[in-house]
Amino acid sequence: MIVIAEKINATRSAVREIIEQRDEGRLEDLAQRQVAAGAAYIDVNVGTGNGTRQDEIESMQWAVSRLLDATDKPLCIDSADAAVLEAGLAAMGGRPAMINSTKADVKYLSTVMPLAQRYEAPVVALAMDGQGIPGTVEGRLNACRAIAGACRDYQVPLASVFFDPLVLPVATDAGQGKVTLNTLAAIKAEFPEARTVMGLSNISFGLPGRPMLNAAFLQMAIYAGLDAAIMDPLNADMMQAARTGDALMGKDRHFRKYSRALRRQ
Amino acid sequence: MNEQEIIEKIAFNVIQGRVTEEDEGYDEGLEGQPAVAELVQMVIEQRIDAKKVVVNALTGSMETVGDKFDKGEYLIPDMLASAECVGAAMDLLGPHLADAGVQSKGKFVLATVAGDLHDIGKNIVGIMLKGAGFDVLDLGNDVSSERIVAQVKDTGARYLGLSALLTTTMREMGAIIKTLDEEGMRSQVQVLIGGAPTSQSFADEIGADAYCRDAFHAIDILKQMAG
């Protein structure tokens, strides 16, 4: 499992404070703890909801420059605004980064795909379009097809794409878990060279016993073809759920990662 | 790398269970470093004495692995990974062993008895025996008594290893020993048995020469037999 560590996200109040106060000590600490816990990428989202686009650009430049010193891991530059994405990518100084994200909407594709091409960066692509999240597997797969078409147009290899089948809470529609899982499988069947990613915790929103729901869903998703997850690596139970799923799917030869994690406890 | 370094690195990688350089080891972060296959290739290219590799790098490190397994530090997959390393090294070294004057410790016929499909333990034993210098003929699983006896006869094997994992199939072992007796071959071959339902008392009951708790125990017993 490729773990994209989610904690540096300014929608969390603690991180909003870090960003607004330019608290580099706490920012670096948060990155380093996530790396030590097994993150492959550190997601960076500095959208505080306050201030202007220019504020967000400056926040992104600051965060990226601090994180480049704090870790060797690639960052995952996360914004809904292509100008912020570009500022973050430029601040990487040639070091590898991931783009989070685009969707099947011409406004996003025409601004984000050229960045993916220019920076040779992997890109998270959401299985949705300008109208929102399709409720069916076929609708989400159509969004992926549009994104794959844009990949051809902008010369971004499909191997650089991480399709996100999207996760909606099952509390409001019990069928949604299966829509996501079947979309994952359909993406793997139609675009075998592409990879898949998703954020997990949304599945259990509004229900009790969330850790078990999240872990079970993660493992079902691994079976359906999940390659990467945007998740909290500091959550040891979820990390071991991921390793367990990978091991049972034969992706962890000799159970190296699985056993090593249990030895550490 | 000089001879000593290569041999030490082979021993280290057998314990880590890394066959090729992309393999993960028991410990973290070893990916990308040369492993057993690459290092044994250097042995061949640099014409290092293959006997030294077997004695100093393979046998000793499998004893270490055996100790770690006995202590519960290593688990079955760890042991399998190390056994794979020894198997890979022996396959690569095979043609060079005779030149180096390494003599086979004898022919060893190995089989899981008729009606029994379990072969994980038997396979580990096979790899370990190879690493220990035996000329192993593994007949596979669900092997009929007739075939086992015929193979012992044809090869003139000095050792026969029988495995059974079921209480219903372990009785086959006694039948095989009886047939060896009737054919006048019993004194030619030492019969070693193993598998979860078997025991020393069962070995005594059917007239086997030894009961082996696990692959490492088998190697110990063979050392004693060779005296």
Q: Assign residue A151 the CATH number of its domain.
A: 3.20.20.20
The answer on A18 and A86 residing in a single domain is yes
Note the pLDDT of residue A265: 67
The answer on A256 and A182 residing in a single domain is no
The answer on A129 and A81 residing in a single domain is yes
Residue A138: pLDDT band (50, 70, 90) is very high
Choose, out of A256, A260, A262, the residue to mutate when testing the contact with B (most B CBs < 10 Å).
A256
Question: What's the average model confidence in pLDDT over A26-43?
Answer: 97
Contacts for B219-226 with beta carbons within 8 Å, 24 or more apart?
B219/B62, B219/B66, B219/B128, B219/B129, B219/B132, B221/B192, B222/B105, B222/B129, B222/B132, B222/B134, B222/B159, B222/B192, B225/B190, B226/B105
Give A257's contacts in chain B (Cβ within 8 Å).
Answer: 24
Report pLDDT digits (tens) over B137-147.
999 999 999 99
Q: Which residues lie closer than 8 Å to A62 by C-beta, 6 or more apart?
A: A19, A22
Burial profile B200-211: b = 16 or more Cβ within 10 angstroms, e = fewer: eebbeebebbbb
Note the pLDDT of residue B129: 87
The answer on A124 and A252 residing in a single domain is no
Note the pLDDT of residue B60: 85
Kindly report the backbone phi and psi dihedral angles of residue B21, in degrees, each rounded to the nearest multiple of 5, phi listed first: -65, -25
Please state, in angstroms and rounded to a whole number, the distance separating the CA atoms of residues B225 and A232.
Answer: 57
Report pLDDT digits (tens) over B3-57.
999 999 999 999 999 999 999 999 999 999 999 999 999 999 999 988 889 888 9
The answer on A175 and A111 residing in a single domain is yes
Name the domain count of chain A: 2
Residue B120: pLDDT band (50, 70, 90) is confident
Note the pLDDT of residue A22: 97
Please state, in angstroms and rounded to a whole number, the distance separating the CA atoms of residues A52 and A18.
Answer: 17
Q: In the numeric block, which tokens belong to residue A215?
A: 């872990």
- Would you call A256 and B80 a contact, using CB atoms and an 8 Å cutoff? no
Q: Which residue has the higher pLDDT, B98 or B214?
A: B214
The answer on A71 and A142 residing in a single domain is yes
**Ordered domains of chain B (ranges, CATH):** 3-99 (1.10.1240.10), 107-226 (3.40.50.280)
Please state, in angstroms and rounded to a whole number, the distance separating the CA atoms of residues A222 and A247.
Answer: 10
Note the pLDDT of residue A6: 96
Residue B131: pLDDT band (50, 70, 90) is confident
The mean pLDDT value of chain B amounts to 92
H or E element that contains A18? helix A13-20
Of the candidates A145, A144, A200, the residue with the CA atom closest to the CA atom of residue A1: A200
Of B27, B28, B80, the CB nearest to A254: B80
Report pLDDT digits (tens) over A52-96.
999 999 999 999 999 999 999 999 999 999 999 999 999 999 999
- Would you call A254 and B17 a contact, using CB atoms and an 8 Å cutoff? yes
Note the pLDDT of residue B227: 66
Give B28's contacts in chain A (Cβ within 8 Å).
Answer: 260
Please say if the pLDDT value at position B89 is more than 80. Answer: yes
Domain of residue A247, residue span = 235-265
Report pLDDT digits (tens) over B178-205.
999 999 999 999 999 999 999 999 999 9
Note the pLDDT of residue B144: 96
Pairing of β A123-129 and β B107-112: unpaired
Note the pLDDT of residue B119: 86
Note the pLDDT of residue A245: 97
Of B27, B28, B81, the CB nearest to A254: B81
Q: What is the ipTM of this complex?
A: 0.74
Give B24's contacts in chain A (Cβ within 8 Å).
Answer: 253-254, 256-257
The answer on A264 and A217 residing in a single domain is no
The answer on A135 and A44 residing in a single domain is yes
Note the pLDDT of residue A204: 94
Of B27, B28, B78, the CB nearest to A254: B78
CA–CA distance from A36 to each of A2, A29, B31, B158 (Å)? 14, 10, 18, 54
Q: Which residues lie closer than 8 Å to A213 by C-beta, 6 or more apart?
A: A170, A203, A204, A207
